[in-house]
Structure 1
Amino acid sequence: MRSRTKILQATLGLIADVGFGGVTIVGAAQAAGVSRQTVYSIFGTREELVSQAISGQLLEAYAEMTSRLEQIEDPGEYVVETIVLGRTVVREHPALAVLLGGGGENPVFDEGMVDRAKPIGHQLLAPLVRRCPELEPHADDIVVMALLLGLSVVLFAGDTMGSDDELRMFLRRWLLPAMPPVGAPTPRDS
């Protein structure tokens, strides 16, 4: 295994175990079984090391989600499944779960988080908008709604929703009526 990969995996393990604040170049080097100089030569700074480790994990999670969402045609079901999958992905990737914990160094809890997450939300929604172009005028609202609701589910619901099927039923009951109907006129059509 290449040093870069070993270091990134070790860093993700450290993030999951001790949080962002506990990750150091020395700790990552020791966990990966490489020298401190190797870590510095590949990543330069602790911040870059943590950023690349989390970015890689997010890209992996994004790929998992998009492959599962490809077959869903109904807009409401697409958003419901995006939220359910978001919870599943966070549960399956312990370092991502740390993103949702409190703390002064956590980028999820600053006021610009939703604006930074919107481009990713739009990427997740893009296949649906291509299939249902009438949703395009509502895309930003759908993304914000899914982000806020999805974060609430992951952060606050815990096991309240129990299984994925229980979460789906809850989301369908409250979210589907709020979704614009497919085939409905858009503001441009009116």
Structure 2
Amino acid sequence: MRSRKKILDATLDLIGRNGFEGITIASVAQAAGVTRQTVYANFGSREEVVSQAMVSRLTEVAAEIQRELTSAADPGDYVVELVVAGRRAVRTDPVLTALLRSETNNPLFDEDAVTRAKVVTGVLLQPLGELFPDVVDRIDDFAAIAAHLGLSVVCFDDAALRDDDDLRAFLFRWLAPGIA
């Protein structure tokens, strides 16, 4: 179990410093201080160790974001703040920022990106049903909207042109009424 955590931590560190391109089983093993065989025994492939490392980091970030959302006044406020906090996290966390600067093997631009994003947003939206029980039957719709919009905002919205307050105001004008 300790080797697994060391491997995941080393992978996240390498992604944060070098992006996805430089991640190899050999580089992960060296950074973790284990053998390549240990990495293979724990994960089986480069893709699996990268995937597990990203899931680990995203889980931590999701917990941080969810703590910010507990004071949402209504479902629209919750989804708007989720998108704003998600963009902020991707732009400030070194590992998640690697998603924006990666030129090849970028998981944001493969064919399953929206499917994975819907799973993540679904998890992030689960407390919405507890906070506002009348929207439980619409959480899947909210997850689809948040996934598509979130990926668009993260990938294509320039924080230099639209800061968090501007993004929040835009989303409150256009997104919140549709959720209400």
Q: Which runs of 5+ in 2 are unaligned?
A: none
What does 1:1-190 correspond to in 2, within 5 Å?
2-101=2-101, 103-159=103-159, 160-162=161-163, 164-180=164-180
Cα deviation digits, residues 16-55 of structure 1 (max 9, x gap): 3333232111111222233333333333322221121111
Mapped partners of 1:84, 1:90: distance in 2: 10
* Cα deviations by residue, 1:64-98 (Å, 9 ceiling, x for unpaired): 11222122231111011101110122123222233
SS across alignment from 1:20 = coil
Work out which of the two has the higher radius of gyration on C-alpha atoms and give 1 or 2: 1
Q: Partners of 2:123 and 2:33 in 1: how far apart?
A: 37
User: Contact 1:7/1:29 (CA < 8 Å) preserved in 2?
Assistant: yes
Going from structure 1 to structure 2, the CA distance change for 1:3 and 1:123 (only over 3 Å counts) comes to: closer
Code of the residue aligned with 1:26 in structure 2: it is A
SS class of match (2:175): helix
Asked if 2 retains the 8 angstrom alpha-carbon contact of 1:76 and 1:175, the reply is: yes
After superposition, the Cα gap between the structure-2 partners of 1:51 and 1:134, relative to the gap in structure 1 and judged at 3 Å, is same
After TM superposition, the structure 1 stretch with the greater mean CA deviation from structure 2, 123-132 or 96-105, is 96-105
Instruction: Report the secondary structure of 2:135's partner residue.
Output: helix
Higher RCO (Cα < 8 Å, 6 or more apart)? 2
Contact 1:81 1:168 in 2 (8 A): yes
- Rounded Cα–Cα distance in structure 1 between residues aligned with 2:57 and 2:16: 12
Percent identity reads 51
Separation of aligned partners in 2, 1:110 and 1:6: 28
> What is the letter of the counterpart of residue 89 of structure 1?
A
Please report how far the alpha carbon of residue 156 of structure 1 lies from its aligned counterpart in structure 2 after TM superposition: 1.0
Give the residue type in structure 2 aligned to 1:58: L
* Pairs aligned (count): 178
Structure 1 residue 113: Cα displacement: 2.5
How far apart are residue 8 of structure 1 and its match? 1.6
TM-score by length of 1: 0.80
Cα RMSD after superposing both structures: 2.2
Distance 1:137 1:42 in 2: 39
SS of 1:22's partner is: coil
Q: Decide which moves more: 3-12 or 34-43.
A: 34-43
Say which SS state the counterpart of residue 34 (structure 2) adopts.
coil
Q: In structure 1, list runs of 5 or more residues that go unmatched.
A: 181-190
CA contact (8 A) 2:19 2:102 kept: no
Indicate if the aligned counterparts of 2:20 and 2:102 stay in contact, CA closer than 8 A: no
Task: Determine if contact 1:73/1:131 at 8 Å carries over to the other structure.
Answer: no
